[in-house]
A = this chain, B = another copy of it.
Amino acid sequence: MTQRVWNFSAGPGALPLPVLEEAQRDLVCLPGVGASVLEISHRSKHFDAIIQEAEANLRQLLNIPDDYHVLFLQGGASLQFAMVPMNLLGDGSADYIITGSWGQKAFQEAQLVGKARVVWNGKAENFVRTPRPDEYQIDPNARYVHFTSNETIQGVEFASEPYAGEVPLVCDMSSDFLARPIDVRKYGLIYAGAQKNAGPAGVTIVIVRNDLVQRAPTHLPVMLNYRTHAENRSLYNTPPVFAIYIVMLVTRWLLHAVGGLAQMERINREKARLLYEVIDQSDGFYRGHAHPEHRSIMNITWRLPTEELERQFLQEAQAHGLHELKGHRSVGGCRASLYNGMPIEGVQALCAFMRAFMQRHA
């Protein structure tokens, strides 16, 4: 099989085809370089141009203010779960808003490092929504307030930033980073594994205000200190060269082919609308997980009447070229991830299949 299927994987997820085609064309020999991007020194002027464009594209797409650093790190969001408290907690405490599995993990790691407190937890309601501001109290002395903008497993997404008073907001934005415009000024620190909307697995993007970088204690291992990476512009040691190259291509595609994040959001909202419409009009055959006003435009989750039907659904979908629709092993059911790289045609194909499947089985 050399024909591409519709890939709804929750991550690593689908990438824009023009990005893959350009990467393929140049993989053995980068034009003007004489070597593959897999072989070039991270100290070469060729890589310098790549990482500088990746950063410049991100700054332009997100309108990142000058007092924020853009870092390209390794280890995924899971390492950030530890690095954030290691760098920012000091002797203080942090407040965590938990709306799903990833927020829970971030909180557990913070507890290993220092003092952390849960101010709101959606677990009792089975993670179906984000909180109202009157449902939780922020400690005004907290070092930061942590939240997960989009919970990939449950499909719960914040429509806008949660209330945090004057306390710096820290956000795990892994699964909706670059899917819509945000106001970076509202955040102290944003981190995101690239493998959803921004690139392949293997690079983690951190956007952090300079005053927070300066909080890092001096005794931290060098590689776990944001100051190291800020001062060395992500080149303290060998960075994940190829993953950063793909982020550069993806952000270039977002800027010049898509036309920016407002346009990307319009496309993403339309994709999600099409799929939720099928679910909402199915008379309960497809049951969405999250409350409608809190559901994700990235990860659409639903159940069928029985687990047997779910198995059949996934099997037939696969046969129709609709892949990776199985829900996360911790919650079951079905999930379609509609990241930036998923074209509307793929969603239309999924919707048509879901309507036909329902007709046969409802």
Distance of A330 from chain B, by nearest CB (Å):
12
The reply to whether A202 and B28 form a contact with Cβ atoms under 8 Å apart is no
For residue A17, CB closer than 8 A to chain B, the reply is yes
Note all chain B residues with C-beta closer than 8 A to A236: 78
For residue A4, CB closer than 8 A to chain B, the reply is yes
Whole-angstrom distance between the alpha carbons of A240 and B221 in the complex?
22
For residue A246, CB closer than 8 A to chain B, the reply is yes
The reply to whether B223 and A321 form a contact with Cβ atoms under 8 Å apart is no
For residue A49, CB closer than 8 A to chain B, the reply is no
Note all chain B residues with C-beta closer than 8 A to A75: 74-75, 79, 223
Select the stretch in A29-37, A89-97, A162-170 that faces chain B: A29-37
Interface string of A231-250 (1 = CB under 8 A from B): 00000111111110010000
Name which residue of chain B comes closest to A19, CB basis: B38
The one of B112, B201, B243 in contact with A222, judged by C-beta atoms closer than 8 angstroms, is: B112
Note all chain B residues with C-beta closer than 8 A to A40: 7, 9, 12
Whole-angstrom distance between the alpha carbons of A24 and B13 in the complex?
19
The reply to whether A4 and B17 form a contact with Cβ atoms under 8 Å apart is no
For residue A51, CB closer than 8 A to chain B, the reply is no
The reply to whether A82 and B4 form a contact with Cβ atoms under 8 Å apart is no
How many residues of A are in contact with the other chain, CB < 8 A?
Answer: 72
For residue A220, CB closer than 8 A to chain B, the reply is yes
Whole-angstrom distance between the alpha carbons of A1 and B81 in the complex?
43
Whole-angstrom distance between the alpha carbons of A43 and B86 in the complex?
29
Name which residue of chain B comes closest to A195, CB basis: B238
Note all chain B residues with C-beta closer than 8 A to A9: 35, 39-41, 44
Distance of A33 from chain B, by nearest CB (Å):
7
Distance of A29 from chain B, by nearest CB (Å):
5
The reply to whether A201 and B238 form a contact with Cβ atoms under 8 Å apart is yes
Note all chain B residues with C-beta closer than 8 A to A241: 12, 195, 200-202
The reply to whether A221 and B5 form a contact with Cβ atoms under 8 Å apart is no
Note all chain B residues with C-beta closer than 8 A to A43: 329
The reply to whether A41 and B10 form a contact with Cβ atoms under 8 Å apart is yes
Note all chain B residues with C-beta closer than 8 A to A31: 1-2
For residue A3, CB closer than 8 A to chain B, the reply is yes
Note all chain B residues with C-beta closer than 8 A to A17: 28
Note all chain B residues with C-beta closer than 8 A to A3: 29, 34
Distance of A141 from chain B, by nearest CB (Å):
24
Known: A2-B29, A75-B75, A82-B221. A323 touches B35 (CB 8 A): yes
The reply to whether A28 and B34 form a contact with Cβ atoms under 8 Å apart is no
Whole-angstrom distance between the alpha carbons of A202 and B4 in the complex?
26
| Residues of chain A in range 40-62 having any CB-CB distance to chain B below 8 Å | 40-44
The reply to whether A82 and B224 form a contact with Cβ atoms under 8 Å apart is yes
The one of B79, B222, B323 in contact with A78, judged by C-beta atoms closer than 8 angstroms, is: B222
Note all chain B residues with C-beta closer than 8 A to A157: none
Per CB-CB distance, the 7 closest pairs between chain A and chain B, nearest first, are: A82-B221, A202-B240, A5-B34, A74-B74, A78-B237, A24-B27, A38-B200
A-B contact pairs, 11 of them (CB 8 A): A1-B31, A4-B35, A12-B38, A12-B40, A12-B238, A38-B246, A39-B200, A43-B329, A82-B224, A109-B221, A201-B238
